[in-house]
Amino acid sequence: MNNLAKLKSIPDFLLITAAAIIISSCQPDNRNGAAEAEGFCFGTFISVKSFTDDNNSDAEKMSENAVQICERLDSVFSRSYTENANRLIDQDGCLKECLTTTASLNDKYGDGVNLTCGRITSLWGISSPKPAVPESDDIIKALGFIEDTGYHNGDLKDFSDGVMLDFGAVAKGYACDLIYRGITEDLYTGSEASLAGKNSCQIVSMGSTTLLCGEKPDKSSFKVAVKDPASPGGDNYLGIISCAQAFISTSGGYERFFVEDGIKYEHIIDVKTGYPIKTDLTSVTVIVPVRAENGGILSDFLSTLIYIGGTESLDRYLGDTEYYVIAADINGFIHKSRNMPEDMFSLKNEVYSYAQ
């Protein structure tokens, strides 16, 4: 009250209060550093948002480094589309790490995802501007170049002549793994700033694969909308995932496909038949908490594998505790992990209902 008493009158006090409100309402919110970066990699659009407590400079470094990691990996992986596996040069060990990690996942979960399918995917031209149905003889020949992903423990020169690799099934997940390592090990700033842990936040969106890292500036949980596979372009999402930091991947045939003679061909190829897979699932999303080792590759690998396996082999994945699964089938039923926290996924589409 003493300070207030110094004011000449109540109107003076009101004037100062009003002026303070005006000034504060015009100030930008500078409590957190925030920066975005974008790029085109892995045949998709990459968007990175970073937040730090300190300043924009750290956030800018985080975002730029994430995009640079993607661009570097994209150039490494894209060489595999034009060069035989045994002639590739694995300068920094990325290819070997992807091959051995995928091979260990093959041992644990199944061999539906095989990175030696390069010759078949290029035959279909799935990632090219003009995909087309190949001759059946060519498909049979290409199947002859499929080998076990982990056959040579990642030693490229031992792959048979003519084998070509396609890292598409795990490339984005692996990029997320490297980005996450960069943040948690403070590789970006080299300072003791806030990047290693709770005071920074990064959201890396690569279309079908996402890394959610750290804690959002407002402490709220991350919110991820899952597209409705029947209407992926609309606002009518399948549901909303609400979670802490995680790797998330979604697989489905509703966005990348081509139509020839009235038949729809999806971009995921069955490495056993050489043709696009047939599945009774329309969308599979896998959420892997960041504590899992190589969680990015794991989420990418599993979403594809579960999608390929369909409802027939779904049950074994719904019981695992290392990750969470949300799968939609062709009859409009949603299957989710039995151990999924109640508030992790909210169904937002009345066309769908939970499977009993």
Judged by the rule CB under 8 A, the positions of this chain that interact with other proteins are 9-11, 14-15, 18-19, 21-22, 25-26, 38-40, 43-45, 47, 129-131, 203, 205, 207-210, 212, 216, 218, 220, 222-227, 232-235, 237, 240, 248, 250, 255-256, 258, 285
Calpha distance 41→50 (Å, rounded): 19
For the CB of residue 329, give the shortest distance to other proteins in the complex, in Å. 19
Q: Identify which of residues 1 and 10 has a Cβ nearer to other proteins in the complex.
A: 10
Nearer to other proteins, 147 or 266 (CB): 266
> What is d(CA 80, CA 86) in angstroms, rounded to the nearest whole number?
10
- Measured CA to CA, the distance from residue 156 to residue 123 in angstroms comes to 22
Nearer to other proteins, 110 or 232 (CB): 232
Asked if residue 246 lies in contact with residue 287, where contact means CB atoms within 8 angstroms, the answer is: yes
CA atoms within 13 A on the CB side of 55: 3
CB 50, min distance to other proteins, A: 13
Cβ proximity to other proteins: between 149 and 205 the closer is 205
**DSSP string of 32-81, one letter each residue:** SEEEEEEEEETTEEEEEEEEESS-HHHHHHHHHHHHHHHHHHHHHHHGGG
Q: How far is the CB of 18 from other proteins (least distance, A)?
A: 4
Residues present in the chain in total: 356
Closer residue to other proteins in complex, CB, 40/293: 40
| CA nearest to 170, candidates 300, 33, 259 | 300
Q: How far is the CB of 45 from other proteins (least distance, A)?
A: 4
Min CB(118)–other proteins separation in Å: 20
Q: Coil, strand or helix: which one is 327? A: strand
